[in-house]
Structure 1
């Protein structure tokens, strides 16, 4: 982890002439973007997996209708379909899980004591929102920085919420078999986009910058990936042919 810390520090030194006292904050943003760019192939693999599952959606729906009264036969038929088409039922999920180690590493890097003495304008990178509230309140110097961060997070979350809701409307969540409570999950899933607001409120500002940058990258990346799909193949909502795209 010290290697990554050194990289951020060196990048901050390079950015010092341009960003002055906010050079470390700019380095965090750029370093996060570099990491997301490095794992972009995983996001593309996730998108391909989602399209593979989407392609089989009509056949899966037909199987569920045919074997509605025989869950065991349905499970076997779905397994055979996946095997015949060489599609994993976890397509689109595993690539996203592989990103977790990188995300955890970045979080710990930006939430440690290394950020002491660095700031984003009037807000110290090692402080929390509670610290900003106790030193000037919501509209104090540090509080105003957080207001801008929250506004950006809310905008990205709203975009992701609308996109996910539209995708779920185009094709309900496919859990592989009839599942009690699937309707409730479908309603709650789009709201998870706003969980980032809670994260930003409780982690140090340096870690919050990582979260904001990463979630914004995810929203833009998925929009571009599936926008390309829509223009090339005329697919449905969100660029996937009637698909629901899990977040990368």
Structure 2
């Protein structure tokens, strides 16, 4: 089912498309051929700015996990082989510290509907039966509705460097974010149970690079902008949030 045909969702997507169209028109005298892509950047930044309160909650939850990590590691060693007692001890720890184990998940879940709407706006060729004019815009000659695969398979293949540059920037930003997360949420060497998720965490962030390569260029611009925002946002909030 196309979610853009749902009454409320369709209305929000149409409003978003109108905002981007207006931004593109406004920016064209200044940005010319970059106007549509710049409109995507502006909308992405505006949405992420609105979600900052949820990001603060995530950083606070991260801070609590970091603070409780040594005690959790001690409980794992103490109750090794007795999963039930370990879970009871963890629950008691969270209760005594007034920390919710779901504190970091709830803000992410709250962001999901907003992110899904923005994703739809940047990837769907039609919205509620109407053409999504954003994807007809271009960035250095590459239509925002084309993915890297589509560009390589078309006469525009010589412009594929535009997408490749975006992907290279995304790889650098994702790796910087991964290193910052690893530094901030260091896994104790003696905690083998936490080491496995840490190995998965090394690879998982790079899924966004694969997505950006196969998604329309508008979505790739969104992903790169969002990743840059996240990197800067986390760096600031980790210093400010107490």
Match of 2:182 in 1: 165
- CA distance in structure 1 between the partners assigned to 2:136 and 2:75 by the alignment: 61
Q: Deviations over 1:181-222 (max 9, x none)?
A: x53331121222222221111111111111111111111111
Q: Deviations over 1:37-63 (max 9, x none)?
A: 000110001111111222222332332
What TM-score do the two structures reach when normalised by structure 1? 0.81
CA contact under 8 A between 1:53 and 1:91: conserved in structure 2?
no
SS in 1 for 2:136: coil
CA contact under 8 A between 1:160 and 1:190: conserved in structure 2?
no
Question: Residue 171 of structure 2 is aligned with which of 154, 159, 166?
Answer: 154
Figure out how many residues of one structure are paired with residues of the other and give that number.
222
Residues 62 and 158 of structure 1: CA distance in aligned 2, closer, same or farther (over 3 Å): closer
Q: Deviations over 1:87-114 (max 9, x none)?
A: 1112222212211111110111011221
CA contact under 8 A between 1:28 and 1:210: conserved in structure 2?
yes
SS in 2 for 1:226: helix
CA RMSD of aligned residues (A): 2.3
Match of 2:153 in 1: 134
- CA distance in structure 2 between the partners assigned to 1:7 and 1:137 by the alignment: 29
CA contact under 8 A between 1:122 and 1:145: conserved in structure 2?
no
SS in 1 for 2:42: helix
- CA distance in structure 2 between the partners assigned to 1:62 and 1:146 by the alignment: 47
Matched, 1:72 2:88: no
Could you list the runs of 4 or more consecutive aligned residues of structure 1 that deviate by over 4 angstroms after TM superposition? none
- CA distance in structure 2 between the partners assigned to 1:187 and 1:116 by the alignment: 37
Structure number with the higher helix fraction is 2
Question: Once the 2 structures are TM-superposed, how far is the Cα of residue 20 of structure 1 from its aligned partner?
Answer: 1.2
Unaligned runs of 5+ in 1: 234-248
- CA distance in structure 2 between the partners assigned to 1:136 and 1:148 by the alignment: 19
Q: Deviations over 1:216-245 (max 9, x none)?
A: 11111112222446xxx8xxxxxxxxxxxx
Q: How does 1:157-196 map to 2 (within 5 A)?
A: 157-168=174-185, 170-172=186-188, 179=193, 182-196=194-208
SS in 2 for 1:56: helix
- CA distance in structure 2 between the partners assigned to 1:46 and 1:121 by the alignment: 37
- CA distance in structure 2 between the partners assigned to 1:107 and 1:47 by the alignment: 24
Q: How does 1:216-231 map to 2 (within 5 A)?
A: 216-228=228-240
